[in-house]
Structure 1
Amino acid sequence: MADLKDHVNDASIGRLAAAVSRVHPAFPAADFTAAAGRGLEPLALKQRVSAVAAQLAAFLPQPFPHAARVLRDAVAASPLDMWSGWPATDYVAGHGLGHPDDALPTLAALTPHATAEFAIRPYLAAHPERTLAQLHVWAVDPDQHLRRLASEGSRPRLPWASRVPMLADPQLTIPVLDRLHDDPELYVRRSVANHLNDITKDHPDVALATARRWSATGGDGTAWVIRHALRSLVKQGHPEALGLLGFDHGADVAVTGLTVTPDTLPIGGQVTIAFTLTADTDVRAAVDYVVHHAGARGPRAPKVFKLTTADLEPGLPRQVTRRHTFQHVSVRRLYPGPHRIDIQVNGRVLAGAEITLHDDH
């Protein structure tokens, strides 16, 4: 599989150059393509995007309002994709801050082709009132890409994006989400859910109050948003979040017969987790397992994995089995030593077992 950075290449640069030159014949497409493609090989993805954007700034007409009009005309005539369009949004992010009335419509034109969620961040920081007002307009736009931009671009913890300090105040963006939580497009609702999940990490009470308010008036789309938005709190065993989703934190559930086999294995190996759930009354159970990894300097923060949701009936045991592979991933290196696996039901740890990892060589 090709690395993501390899999608920003001579072909993507050529598509961007062709789109611009089609509406602005004076644009030196060949010179831009040669300059933008030079030296890309050692660069990471966002570095490549920035390098192409820098060349776009060098070859587009000046001043910025003229260049912005060219870009709007270009995407109206020649649809771009993520990889050819991203440098254009990056160019607007870096060069249009002095001209928000030209830049914001340009980002609106570009985002259906290549999301402007990163490019909008500098405008939220430099022109907060103007840009927040624009987000409200986009939140009711017929174009789903603009509605999603209103939510995604203003996320307080948007991955890969620059931090915008004012977005730490959730009251600034919740009114935008209020317009979108029952959006007809899953594409938009997923962004709303991720945005509210961001808020749960710093302001759980605000997020829960918002979810309660939405649940009173929203439809099936809102119900999905709330389930997805509260996932971090559910994994933490937050009683109120669990209750809002129909799970009783104090429900009388038993976990019996837990086995984790084998109990000693190499890094890269797999265990089988098996146990039985029982209850004396009807119980809706959110079942997770929690892995406590050994670290280089002692135990690390536990990692919660979603296992299943079960509707338990009295006298009917439910068998649960799951395989888990202990392998290195880019965000988590594994170390030999004791590891613990706990079974968590409706936020309460009800059983656990230890295993031992050893070097895989």
Structure 2
Amino acid sequence: MTTTQNTALKEIFDKRRFRSVALDLAAIYPAFDAKRFLKIALAGLDELSLMQRLRRMTEALHATLPEDYRQAVKILRALAPRINHGFATLVLPDYVGQYGRHDFDWSMDALKYFTGFGSSEFAVREFLRLDPVRALAIMETWSRDDSDAVRRLASEGCRPRLPWSFRLDAILDEPMLAVAILENLRTDASLYVRKSVANHLNDVTKSHPDWVLDRIATWPLTNPHTAWIARHALRSLIKAGNPRALAVIGAGATPQVTISKFALTPRQLALGERMTLSFELASKSAASQRLVIDYKMHYVKKSGATAAKVFKLKELTLESAQRVSIERSQSIRDFTTRVHYPGRHEVEILVNGLSLAHGFFELSCGDE
């Protein structure tokens, strides 16, 4: 995420947002001390990150709403429909996650309600960390709910490696804990839900790849919704060239192809310029072949060692005697998540996980 994106996201919780919430709360609960709320909420706001601002609002609410937890949450339930931004509503389940762990079942029901306005995926993890078996039993009932937002929460909330949150060690160690939820959702008609199920399973592949592959092997992949989940759940394994994962999408066979005219241009590249790779792929088989074509970039690290990253190129069915030309251009520039260093960057072409061609370019970064 770039600095510009971070700055823009922070403004979800700007001064106007805090003042708007204060006005709405005063209308819902006349005894609300809006002046004290804003004094607490706005102190040093400019220096706070997005998630720090969200938590600041939670803390300011706790300082100014009734001490009785259930009364406070009832006021927040009335506030939820008045907040006109999905991400901003995350403060409501955050309040529950921070201050409602002593009232387990009632709080879980509040999270179910709040998720329809944004998402309770972060807050529910506080209850999963506190008592995973109890929380998952409730979430299993959510996975059978009529609301796709609630069904998604069942899967997304217990993702082992949910971005922007802590890892759920219990589910990382034993993915079977959440299996009933995943099984209930494997044919879900909602793309919103299916994406979550696939992301959950993709998280699990990082530590238990065979468990995910064994589970998917029992699924009816003739169902298009299930097949969609399987493909996206296995995306990391597919990029890594795992033969079983490739076989699930019909690309498990050894490719009968030749690669010619492979070129990387320019060979001398400055930071900020674009690298272009191109090649021709020709079939050597009398039958059609399902192929997954990627390229692997070996980035030079500060130490001089390299770290590889696989990028998607193309998936196709190559007919007998067919020849195709493939080209891809990529900007070589720094991001907050990747800093480039000068040196020789190797590039490989992968077909069904096998390296069939390689080359390199030299990168200069201007401060060598």
Which of 170, 188, 193 is residue 198 of structure 2 equivalent to? 193
Matches within 5 A, 1:170-189: 170-189=175-194
Mapped partners of 2:232, 2:221: distance in 1: 17
1:294 aligns with 2:303: no
CA contact (8 A) 1:182 1:218 kept: no
Query: 2: CA distance between counterparts of 1:338 and 1:59?
Result: 59
TM-aligned CA distance change 1:7 to 1:74, over 3 Å: closer
SS in 2 for 1:258: strand
Deviation at 1:127, TM superposition (A): 2.3
The SS at the match of 2:46 is coil
**Cα drift, residue 47 of structure 1:** 1.0
- The letter for the 2-side match of 1:37 is L
Q: 1-side partners of 2:102 and 2:225: how far apart?
A: 39
User: Counterpart of 2:113 in 1: which secondary structure?
Assistant: helix
**In 2, distance between residues paired with 1:137 and 1:22?**
35
Amino acid at match of 1:89: P
What does residue range 143-292 of structure 1 map to in structure 2 within 5 Å? 143-168=147-172, 169-214=174-219, 216=220, 219-281=223-285, 282-292=288-298
Bigger CA drift: 173-182 or 231-240?
173-182
Cα distance in structure 2, aligned partners of 1:344 and 1:83: 39
The CA distance in 1 between the partners of 2:351 and 2:132, in whole Å, is 43
Task: Report the Cα offset of residue 242 of structure 1.
Answer: 0.2
Paired letter, 1:147: R
Q: Is the 8 A contact 1:16 1:85 kept in 2?
A: no
Aligned to 2:101: 97
> Is this contact kept in 1: 2:144–2:184, CA < 8 A?
yes
- The within-5 A match list for 1:23-172 is 23-75=28-80, 78-168=82-172, 169-172=174-177
Tell me how far apart the structure 2 counterparts of residues 182 and 149 of structure 1 sit (CA, whole Å).
Answer: 16
Distance 1:89 1:113, change over 3 A: same
Does the alignment pair 1:318 with 2:324? yes
Distance, in Å, in 2 between the alignment partners of 1:152 and 1:163 is: 12
Q: Conserved in 2, the CA contact under 8 Å of 1:273 and 1:323?
A: yes
- Deviation at 1:217? 5.6
Q: CA deviation at 1:226?
A: 1.0
**1:12 to partner: Cα distance:** 2.1
| CA displacement, residues 19-69 of structure 1 (integer Å, 9 cap, x when unaligned) | 433332222234323431222100111111111111111011122122122
Compare 109-118 and 31-40 and name the one that shifted more: 31-40
2:363 partner letter: L
- Give the Å deviation of 1:83: 4.0
Q: Name the stretch that deviates more: 15-24 or 160-169.
A: 15-24
List per-residue Cα deviations over 1:306-327 (Å, max 9, x = no partner). Answer: 0001211122211101111111
Cα shift at 1:329: 1.2
Q: Which secondary structure state, in structure 1, belongs to the residue aligned with residue 236 of structure 2?
A: helix
1:6 maps to what in 2? 11
Name which of 337, 340, 345 aligns with 1:339.
345
CA distance in 1: counterparts of 2:25 and 2:107, whole angstroms: 17
More deviation, 19-28/331-340: 19-28
Question: Unaligned 5+ residue runs, structure 1?
Answer: none
Aligned pairs, how many? 359
Q: Is the 8 A contact 1:277 1:317 kept in 2?
A: yes
Displacement of 1:248: 2.6
Shift of 1:233: 0.3
Contact kept, 8 Å, 2:340 with 2:365, in 1: the verdict is: no
Kept after mapping to 2: 8 A contact 1:8/1:45: yes
RMSD of aligned C-alpha atoms?
1.6
Q: How much has 1:80 moved relative to structure 2? A: 4.5
Q: Could you tell which deviates more after superposition, 115-124 or 58-67?
A: 58-67
Q: Deviations over 1:203-232 (max 9, x none)?
A: 001111122222x26621211111111110
Q: Deviations over 1:77-133 (max 9, x none)?
A: 535523432222222111111111221111112112221111011100112222111
Given residue 104 of structure 1, which amino acid in structure 2 is its aligned partner?
M
Structure 1 residues 229-238 or 180-189, which shifts more?
Answer: 180-189
Give ranges in structure 2 of 5+ residues lacking alignment: none
Same amino acid, percent of matched pairs: 36
Alpha-carbon deviation of 1:332? 1.0
* CA gap 1:106/1:18 in 2 versus in 1, 3 angstroms: farther
Report SS of the residue matched to 1:179. Answer: helix
Tell me how far apart the structure 1 counterparts of residues 225 and 39 of structure 2 sit (CA, whole Å): 47
